[in-house]
A and B are shown apart, each in its own frame.
Chain A
Amino acid sequence: MISLSDFSHEHTRGSLAVSVQELGLTYTTSIDKKPTLKARLKTLGRGKKHTRTVQALNEVSLDVHYGTVLGIIGSNGAGKSSLMRVISGIVPPTSGRVEVYGSVSTLLALGVGFNPSMTGRENVYLGGLAAGMSQSEIDEKFEAIADFSELGEAIDSPMRTYSSGMYARLAFSVAAIVEPDILIVDEALSTGDAKFKEKSLNRMKELRTADRALILVSHALATIEDLCNEVIWLNKGKLMARGKPAEVIAEYQKFMNVGKSASSDEDV
């Protein structure tokens, strides 16, 4: 598993950051949001299905190089979040291979706030330690994280007292301040108030350096076009297109307006 403290930033523009090779992901998940033993026993012998199998990714191959800001677009259920989770090591692939050439920081599903009864400070430390950072590395970054989040004294209040905007601000601050080699952000730029949204966007622009790779998942196509220098489009777990943001976004929008194309019907 990857650690943020295992290696230093020494990458040149164009060198490989992430290599995804013929990646497939199939998983079984529960149909009920909260499966219970009681429900299972009550329907025993009635042939009711409790799980469903999802093919989230199907033979996806792509390389991400340092200096790239890669945007990932696609409709709901296209496999965007699944791809991010496999690249970050959160879910292992079912087939294929992912090679990662640097430290990864993730902002998927607003990761900070693991224990709402604990303070923002405690959650930042626990999240950092779980990600493989050392105590001293978190000490070093903590002030910058707290400042960026603009939470003030609330950083020492239990996170159950936070609003969703405060959660989002702290989560973004942690992911964006730790300065990883590869930053993966999933649908996080649309949270928080307008002022913080602008601040987050500016921070993302600051992070667009030659020795870093950014991967962004968003439904906000204007943001993707503004931030990214490359875009991929996923549909039903398959890579449909890859290229310059304006071209891929136009192709995606055309597809969405037209409906299902013949090529995507093949994948159903």
Chain B
Amino acid sequence: MTQPIVVYEPFKAGLPPMRAYLRSLWHRRAFISEFARSELREQNFGSVFGQLWLVLNPLLLSGVYFLLIYVIGGTSDATRFGHLTSTLFLFYLIANSLTGGVKAITSGQRLILNTSFPRIMLPISAVVVAIFRFLPTLVVAFAIHAILGLPYSWEMLWAFPILMIAIVMALGMAILISCINVYFRDISSMLPYLTRSLLYLSPILYEASKISDSIKRFEVVNPIFYLLDSWSRVMVHGLAPTMDGLLHASLFAFGIFIVGTYFFLSRERDFAVRL
């Protein structure tokens, strides 16, 4: 054998050789699905009651907010309840990706110290787990949509690209936060405050159209504000998203994904000596 199978050289511009990296990532895709399966099994989602919980949990969540906003608040608007549940479920896709992603690298210490593999697999796996947890809530959202008699239209097909944007955003956030947590381990303790703030600052407990323009001006810095607004327009009202809203959501999603991935890849070589 005259040609080496693999050559390790210093990274150029701080990044691993991208073609080999992506090939290696694709070759290990089975890890991502097996990790998601094992993780869900560990959370008892392999059993009938566990799967039932996947549906019951979002229902109970929306029930709590329903009680808070509409029963105690005295409102009885079916559209607003539809809005609450749909946006809450999409919000939890992002929040669960962040929660799973934040410790993806630090808890993968043993694997990272022993095995050569693209580290980005770990936060990606956390997002896949969040997607598996999100899918049953989509069924619940459609059931609520039907029960409340909300409108259906072809415009609802916009849900697919918006969901794709949400997944890109979730991936970017999970990748970025998993890397930051290597350098500052208390980020994971601060995360609940961050997600709770995002929950209240985003159009979930209220509709985007109900807040004043002066407040809305500041929402331009909230990465998920227009994503959730677009989701609500499509899933609840059966309307097409506004182009501005779609553009805002896309720019943030791809921006966070690109910045997060670059930051992660440029720091990845440090992980084995920092953990």
A88 CB-CB contact with B under 8 Å:
yes
B215 CB-CB contact with A under 8 Å:
no
Q: Is the interface of B mostly helix, strand, loop or mixed?
A: helix
Flag the segment in B2-10, B82-90, B146-154, B165-173 that touches A.
B2-10
Q: Which residues of B contact A132 (CB under 8 A)?
A: 24, 27-28, 117
When chains A and B are docked, how far (Å) is the Cα of A154 from the Cα of B168? Answer: 40
When chains A and B are docked, how far (Å) is the Cα of A5 from the Cα of B110? Answer: 22
B107 CB-CB contact with A under 8 Å:
yes
Q: Contact string, B93-120, partner A, CB cutoff 8 A, digits 1/0?
A: 0000000000000011011111111100
A22 to chain B, nearest CB (A): 11
Q: Knowing A3-B27, A130-B28 touch, does A37 contact B184 (C-beta < 8 A)?
A: yes
Q: Which residues of B contact A246 (CB under 8 A)?
A: none
Q: Knowing A36-B185, A85-B272, A112-B110 touch, does A129 contact B115 (C-beta < 8 A)?
A: no
A1 CB-CB contact with B under 8 Å:
yes
B183 CB-CB contact with A under 8 Å:
yes
Q: Contact string, A86-115, partner B, CB cutoff 8 A, digits 1/0?
A: 111111111111111111101111111111
Flag the segment in A26-34, A145-153, A195-203, A258-266 that touches B.
A26-34
Q: Tell which of A40, A112, A126 touches B184, judged by Cβ atoms closer than 8 Å.
A: A40
Flag the segment in B34-42, B71-79, B246-254 that touches A.
B34-42
Q: Tell which of B1, B42, B115 touches A106, judged by Cβ atoms closer than 8 Å.
A: B115
Q: Knowing A40-B184, A92-B269, A130-B28 touch, does A101 contact B38 (C-beta < 8 A)?
A: no
In contact, B111 and A127 (Cβ under 8 angstroms): yes
B20 CB-CB contact with A under 8 Å:
yes
Flag the segment in A71-79, A117-125, A218-226 that touches B.
A117-125
Q: Knowing A3-B27, A38-B186, A126-B38 touch, does A131 contact B5 (C-beta < 8 A)?
A: no
Q: Tell which of B8, B42, B117 touches A118, judged by Cβ atoms closer than 8 Å.
A: B42
In contact, A1 and B114 (Cβ under 8 angstroms): no
Query: B interface vs A, CB < 8 Å?
Result: 1, 4-11, 16, 20-21, 24, 27-28, 30-31, 34-35, 38-39, 41-42, 107-108, 110-118, 121, 183-187, 190, 269-270, 272-274
